[in-house]
Amino acid sequence: RLIKNEKNGRIEIDCNAAGVLFEEAKTTYPLAHYGDFKPNSELRKLVLPTCDYTGGLSSLLLLLTKLTRFKCGAVCLARVTHHFIADGIGQTYFFNSWAMLARGDNLAVLPVHESYKASTFEVLTGHVWRSTRKARGLTGDQCVKLYIVTDGRSRLKDPTLPEGYFGNVTMKTVCIAKAE
């Protein structure tokens, strides 16, 4: 589960064997009952795993999985993972590795989960900056703030990430300047 490190204020993973939930559900309806599988409250309630988020940071689960069996024999495997654990590419590595193991295949690349520190970087956004300022009609003394989420995997050089790294390597860059 997640904990706050009181020394440095960072969120960390507490490996206490209590951060994963696996649920199973069964329905008396066939998959066709749910139409074209468009998200709706009935379907979400049936297939998505649930978690009580009222207990604070240390009560948050890191991986929630739910297997739902339909009357017709179809199954739905839904998974929710906390973004502190991994970014989209890491999630893909994890899910593909899980599927390979379920089929009885060997993993070509073993998942790796370690902490890496990324350096800061600057993003040149002159065109976007000017367009935003113009579109919003901002005056020279007003501040403009631009958030950019960046995939850091290709940017990490020393150390580089090992192939199959399962973790979050997205970085949020914030640029703030006066509109002038």
pLDDT tens digit sequence for 22-54: 899 999 999 888 877 677 788 888 888 877 778
Residues spanned by the domain of 162 = 87-180
Full DSSP string of 117-160: -PPP-----HHHHHHHHHHHT--TTSEEEEEEEEE-GGG--SSP
179 with 92, same domain: the answer is yes
How high is the pLDDT of residue 72? 92
The domain boundary, picked from 39, 61, 85, lies at 85
pTM: 0.57
Q: Are 86 and 152 in contact (CB under 8 A)?
A: no
37 with 115, same domain: the answer is no
95 with 177, same domain: the answer is yes
121 with 151, same domain: the answer is yes
133 with 72, same domain: the answer is no
102 with 178, same domain: the answer is yes
How far lies 106's CA from each of 91, 96, 102, in Å? 18, 12, 10
The residue ranges of the chain whose pLDDT is under 70 are 37, 113-130, 175, 179-180
157 with 175, same domain: the answer is yes
104 with 46, same domain: the answer is no
55 with 141, same domain: the answer is no
The domain boundary, picked from 29, 60, 85, lies at 85
CATH number of residue 47's parent domain: 3.30.559.10
Token pair 């009952």: residue: 33
80 with 102, same domain: the answer is no
How high is the pLDDT of residue 26? 93
Alpha-carbon gap, residue 100 to 75, rounded angstroms: 17
What's the total number of domains in the chain? Answer: 2
The domain boundary, picked from 64, 85, 106, lies at 85
What separation, in Å, do the N-terminal and C-terminal C-alpha atoms of the chain show?
Answer: 45
How high is the pLDDT of residue 120? 38
34 with 105, same domain: the answer is no
Which contiguous run of DSSP H or E holds residue 81? strand 75-81
> Left (φ > 0), alpha (ψ -120 to 50) or beta: where does 95 sit?
alpha
Cβ atoms within 10 Å, residue 132:
15
Q: Which residues contact 126 (CB under 8 A, 6 or more apart)?
A: none
106 with 118, same domain: the answer is yes
